Amino acid sequence: MKKGVMRPGHIQLRVLDMQAALKHYVDLLGLIEMDRDAQGRVYLKGWTEIDRFSVVLREADEPGMDFLGFKVVDDATLCRLSEELAAFGCQVENLPAGELKGCGRRIRFEAPSGHFFELFADKEQTGKWGVSEINPEAWPRGLQGMKATRFDHCLLYGVELPETLRLFTEVLGFSLAEQVLDEAGRRVAQFLTVGMKAHDVAFIQHPEKGRFHHASFFLESWEDVLRAADLISMSNTSIDIGPTRHGLTHGKTIYFFDPSGNRNEVFCGGDYHYPDHPPVTWTADQLGKAIFYHDRQLNERFLTALT
Amino acid sequence: MSWLHRVRERVSGEVLEVRPGESLLCAMERQGKGCIPVGCRGGGCGVCKVRVVSGRFDFGAMSCRHVSADERGRGLALACRLFPLGDSEVQACGEAVRAAPEQQ
């Protein structure tokens, strides 16, 4: 949080069919529908999240990610970062308060990787869903499906990893927590964090800019990941791979797809990162093990199925 | 089993038996064949792109990034969103772009 960027705040995803998407994100993942807006966007959150929403779905004829938003500590930070982003060379767009319901003003910019990111300082906080703020019970009754607890991070495929890293570390105060280096020492994957998590956003080098690999949601235990796998089979949901463990971050995971082909992950566990920690390094010749620790080889889909 | 539609994939010569209402890609996976690459199965990633050579199909929603209106008019489609209505023929395209780490 060196530059006042606190944490991930929201992700807006495009889906081909809203009704099918809601069946997936609400009935299967267990996110809570919080609101809808005049544009037809639907606002969701995991039950442990304090904010009013963290996932926004928008119907479109091309799936993928519109933007990923991070919360900053206050409006003065937003003003300062807006200038610093412009100085870095980013074109900064201002979005008025209320453009996303319940969210204050946002600034949006395109990273060198070709992805759009946002910063905001204020969003309505409705508290954890289904438990009171005073003397809260362990969990609420009535959760559905995988009972995803929160939106956690995403993995993005794109161009210009070095400049993207410079933007996230020098301007936004992220740390490089984990990386994959090829034989020539070039970074082909970078996992960035703004707090103690192993990653808040990660990038993999790819010939096309701005591609979306997955949005990830946090579960409490390995048992929950196995239960998620059962639900994926029960609902005949398109699976990618898992349950397994990652080498990178060491999280325990399963990957699957939403009905529009956006990849999702639910995971538990994983490493932590303090700001003084050097990055954890994997070498590209061990990439299979770095991504899928048990199979020790990549499935082709992991590198090519993107939205 | 006359209710099955027989769809030939031209590159491999494989013949897939597709149930009414079943997507071409789903039928291929059910029969343990691999003549069309499998991606997201949701019309989003473009990995399973094929060209319709002959026959009639229903089309589900698919990403306009991978199949533009023009391409669709020329018979291109994603196999996960292609529902055969009779015996037909397709050709796998194999256009997927791979991430850098495996390109060395």
Quick: pLDDT tens for A128-142.
Answer: 999 999 999 999 999
- pLDDT score for A276: 94
Q: How confident is the model at residue B97 (pLDDT cuts 50, 70, 90)?
A: confident
**A87: in domain:** yes
Contact A261 B40 (CB under 8 A): yes
Q: How confident is the model at residue B99 (pLDDT cuts 50, 70, 90)?
A: confident
Residues A115 and A156 reside in one and the same domain:
no
CB-CB: which of A180, A258, A304 is closest to B98? A304
Quick check: B101 pLDDT over 60?
no
**Residue A42, domain CATH:** 3.10.180.10
Residues A178 and A297 reside in one and the same domain:
yes
Q: How many domains does chain A have?
A: 2
What mean pLDDT is predicted for residues A91-108? 98
**A146: in domain:** no
Beta bridge partners of A68: A11, A117
Q: How confident is the model at residue B2 (pLDDT cuts 50, 70, 90)?
A: low
Q: ∠ CA(A74), CA(A75), CA(A77), 5° rounding?
A: 70
**A75: in domain:** yes
**A300: in domain:** yes
Q: How confident is the model at residue A264 (pLDDT cuts 50, 70, 90)?
A: very high
Q: How confident is the model at residue B6 (pLDDT cuts 50, 70, 90)?
A: very high
Quick check: B102 pLDDT over 50?
no
Residues A26 and A105 reside in one and the same domain:
yes
Q: How confident is the model at residue B95 (pLDDT cuts 50, 70, 90)?
A: confident
Contact A305 B43 (CB under 8 A): no
Q: How confident is the model at residue A299 (pLDDT cuts 50, 70, 90)?
A: confident
Please name the residues in contact with A236: beta carbons below 8 A apart, sequence gap of 6 or more: none
pLDDT tens for B29-42 read 999 999 999 999 99
Quick check: B1 pLDDT over 70?
no
C-alpha distances out from residue A86 to A80, A161, A174, B73, Å: 10, 19, 18, 43
Report the C-alpha gap between B104 and B95 in whole angstroms: 19
**A230: in domain:** yes
pLDDT tens for A59-96 read 999 999 999 999 999 999 999 999 999 999 999 999 99
Quick check: A199 pLDDT over 70?
yes
Please name the residues in contact with A87: beta carbons below 8 A apart, sequence gap of 6 or more: none
- pLDDT score for B3: 85
Q: Which domain holds residue A235?
A: 152-304
What mean pLDDT is predicted for residues A217-222? 97
Residues A9 and A79 reside in one and the same domain:
yes
Q: Which two tokens stand for residue B90?
A: 């397709």
- DSSP code at position B79: G
Contact A303 B44 (CB under 8 A): no
The percentage of chain A sitting over the pLDDT mark of 70, rounded to a whole number, equals 100
Q: Model-level pTM?
A: 0.95
Instruction: Identify all chain A residues contacting B40, using CB atoms and an 8 Å cutoff.
Output: 238, 257, 261-263, 305, 307
Contact A63 B101 (CB under 8 A): no
Residues A300 and A163 reside in one and the same domain:
yes
**A109: in domain:** yes
Instruction: Identify all chain B residues contacting A259, using CB atoms and an 8 Å cutoff.
Output: 42
Query: Which homologous superfamily does the CATH classification assign to the domain defined by B5-103?
Result: Beta-grasp domain (3.10.20.30)
**Tokens 């994983």 -> residue:** A270
Report the C-alpha gap between B36 and B28 in whole angstroms: 8
**A140: in domain:** no
Residues A19 and A89 reside in one and the same domain:
yes
C-alpha distances out from residue A24 to A33, A257, A265, Å: 12, 9, 13
**A47: in domain:** yes
Across chain A, where does the E strand assignment appear?
Answer: 5-15, 32-36, 42-45, 55-59, 64-72, 93-95, 106-110, 116-120, 150-158, 175-181, 187-193, 201-205, 211-218, 239-245, 252-257, 263-268, 280-283
**Domain boundaries along the sequence of chain B:** 5-103
Q: Which residue of A has its CA nearest to B39?
A: A305
CB-CB: which of B47, B100, B102 is closest to A298? B102
> B44 — contact with chain A (CB < 8 Å)?
yes
Quick check: A175 pLDDT over 80?
yes
